[in-house]
Structure 1
Amino acid sequence: MTTTVAPGSTGAYVKLAKLDIVDYYLGVLVVWALLAPALRLDGGVLATMGVFLVGEVFVIVAMVALDDLTGYRDGSDIANYAPDAPARKLNRKPLVAGTLTEPQVLRFGLITAVVGAAVWLGALAIAPHRPMWTLVLVAVTYFFALQYSWGVKLSYHGFQEFFLAALGWALVIAPYGLVTGGVDGVVVVQALIFGLGPLLFGVYSNTNDVAGDRRVGRPTVAALTSPRGNMLFVAGVSACELLLILALPLVGGPWWFPLALLPTILLRARQLRVGFGEGDILRARRIGIDVHRVTVVTLVVVNLVVR
C-alpha cells in the first residue's frame, strides 16, 4: 500500500497525532451543557475549559504517539497494518508507512507531553475551583495517559479496556469539578456514559487486531478469550451503557432521558449485529464512532433543555 504523505512532513505528524479522532475532546461539550445557565458564558469558566481542552489535546496526542512507537517496536502495528489488511489506512501509522522515524516520534511524543502538562497546570491555576480531588484526578489522568503503552505500558498488563473508559470519565468529571467545585449524580452517570463511547469502538479495534496483539503478548480481552467470550464481553459493556441510560432518571435526570437516548440504544444494537452477527468488525468500529458522536449531541441537547 502506498502513501501520499511525504516523509518527515507536517502531514506525517498530523497523521501521528490522530487529530481526526476527536471523540475524547467532545467531553468538553458535555461539561459545558451540564453547567448552570449562569456559568455557560462566564469568562473564567470558559477560559478554564478552553485551556483544559488545549492541554487535553496535547496529552492525548502524546499518548497516541507513544502508543504508535511501542506498537511499531513490538511488531503489533506492522502485523495489524500489513499489506493484506486493505481496510486499514497505512498512513495513519507513520512509522509503519516509513514517513517518520523512531527518534522523530519519540521526540514529538515527549514534547507534546511536556506542553500538555504545562497547559494543564495553567488550567488549574486559573480554575474558579480547585478541590483536592480534581487536582489528584488531573495528575493521575496525566500520568496514566503517558503510561498507557509506554513506560510501565499499562495496556500491556490487562488494563487497556478499563483505561479507555476511565480516560473519558476523567475528561468530563475533572473539568466539571474545576469550574463548579463538585459533581452530582447526573454528572457522574453522564460521564460514565461518555467514557463507554470510546471503549465501545476500541473493543472492536481490539477484535480486529487480535492476532497481532496475541503475537506480542498484549492482553486485551479479545486476545485473552475465545471469539465467543469476546463477543459476550462486548455485549456486556453495551448492556452496561444501556443500564446507565436507564438509571439516569433515578439520580435526578428527566424521566424521558432513556427515550431521548433511543438512537444510541438502537445504533448500539446495530453495531453488535454488524460486528458479531455479520462479522464486519471494522464497519462495526465505524458505527461505534458514529454512536458516540450521536450520544454526545443528544446529551448536550438534553442538558441544555433540562439544566
Structure 2
Amino acid sequence: MTSEVQTGAFAAVGGARPESKARSFARLGKLDVYDYYPSIVVALAAVLLPLSRFEAAQGWTLGLFLAGEVLVVMAMVALDDVTGYRDGSDAANYGPNDPLRRKLRKPLIAGTLTLREALAFAWVTAAAGAVLWAGAVAVAPHRPGWTLVLVPVLFVVALQYSYGVKISYHGFQEVFLVGLGVALVLAPYGLVAGRFSWFVLVLAVLFGFGPLMFGVYSNTNDIPGDRAVGRPTVACLVSERGNAVFVGVLSAAEFLLGALASATGAAPWWFVVLMLPVTVLRARQYLTGFRRGDIMTARKQGFVVHRVSTVLLVCAALLHGAEAAA
C-alpha cells in the first residue's frame, strides 16, 4: 500500500526527482521550522546578566546543547514523517484535496526519499544529538540532580512523539508539544545556572505555548487524516464547537498564566503588561481561524505570535536579570 501511495505522489510532483538529496533531507528534518530552537536564547537571557559573572563554560554548555537540540528535533520530526507515511495520514493530509500544502515538504510522500533513507537519517541525527547533549552535561559548570534526570528523559521522550510508544497516538499530543518547549528551556538553564527558578519556569511554559498553539490549528485542519489512523488529538475527539472552545481556552490560559505569575510574585509586576502584544495577536489568530474559518492562515499567524512571544520572553529575562544585578 505504501509503495502505491509513494508512486502516486511521485507522479504528482512531476515524475522525476525535483530536488537534491540534501534538500530533501533538510525538508525531512524541517530545518525551516525552527521555532523550538530559540529556547536556548530564552535560557541564555535568564543567566546572561550580570555579564561579569557569565563564564566560558556556560557558553560552551549552551552551544553544545543547542547543536544537540537541533539534531534531536530533526530526528523527532523525521520519525514523525516515517509514521505518517506508514499509516497513510500524511497521504491524506497532503493529498490532492489539500492544495495549500506542498507534497515536497513530505519527502516520503513526494518520493524524493525512501523509507530506508529517512530512518537512517533519523537515527544518525538522534545519535549525534545524544553525543552533543552528553558533551553539554560534561562541560556544564553545574549539574543539579534534576537536570541529570531531565536531559536523558527529554532525549528518550522526544523520539517517542509518533514513533516507538507513539505518544501523540495515545491522546497526549497537546501536552507533549508544550512540555517539549518547557524542557528545552529548563534543561540548559539548569546546567548553566545550577538552580531552579519559578520565573524561568513561567518563561518556559509560555515558550512551550507557541508550538502548542500552532499545533492545535494544524490538528484542526488534519482531522480527517488523524481520525482515519486513530490519532486522538483533541480536535478529533470533540465536536467542531468543542474544539473551538478548547483552542479559545488555551488562548486565554496563555494570558492568565502571565497575569497569575505577576500577581503572585513568580514574575515581576510588569511581566503581564510586557506580554500583552501576544494576547492581542493570539486573539487575532483565533478570530481568523474560528470566526473567519481560515484555519491554515491562522496556523501561519501562530508562527508569528510565537516569534513575537519569544522576543518578549527574552526581553523579560534580560530586564529581570538587570534588576537583580542592580
User: Could you state the TM-score of these two structures normalised by the residue count of structure 2?
Assistant: 0.91
CA distance in 2, matches of 1:304, 1:205: 32
1:29 to 36, 41, 46: 41
| Cross-structure match for 1:68 | 81
Q: Are 1:283 and 2:283 an aligned pair?
A: no
| Cross-structure match for 1:11 | 23
Per-residue deviation, 1:306: 2.7
Q: Are 1:206 and 2:219 an aligned pair?
A: yes
CA distance in 1, matches of 2:295, 2:250: 16
Gaps of 5+ in 1: none
Letter in 2 for 1:75: G
| Cross-structure match for 1:45 | 58
CA distance in 1, matches of 2:278, 2:244: 19
| Cross-structure match for 2:324 | none
Equivalent pairs counted in the alignment come to 307
2:48/2:318 contact within 8 Å kept: no
Letter in 2 for 1:100: L
1:98 to 87, 91, 111: 111
Cα deviations by residue, 1:93-149 (Å, 9 ceiling, x for unpaired) = 000111001000011111111111111111110111111110111111111111111
| Cross-structure match for 2:184 | 171
| Cross-structure match for 2:169 | 156
2:201 to 170, 177, 188: 188
The residue correspondences of 1:268-307 to structure 2 (distance < 5 A) are: 268-307=282-321
Is the deviation greater in 283-292 or in 83-92?
83-92
Secondary structure of 1:50's counterpart equals: helix
Letter in 2 for 1:65: A
| Cross-structure match for 2:240 | 227
Per-residue deviation, 1:16: 0.6
2:47/2:54 contact within 8 Å kept: no
Larger radius of gyration: 2
1:244 to 217, 239, 257: 257
1:207/1:222 contact within 8 Å kept: yes
Cα deviations by residue, 1:150-183 (Å, 9 ceiling, x for unpaired) = 1111111111110000000000111100001112
Q: Provide the alpha-carbon RMSD of the alignment.
A: 1.5
Gaps of 5+ in 2: 1-11, 322-326
Per-residue deviation, 1:245: 1.3
Per-residue deviation, 1:26: 0.7
Is the deviation greater in 32-41 or in 50-59?
32-41
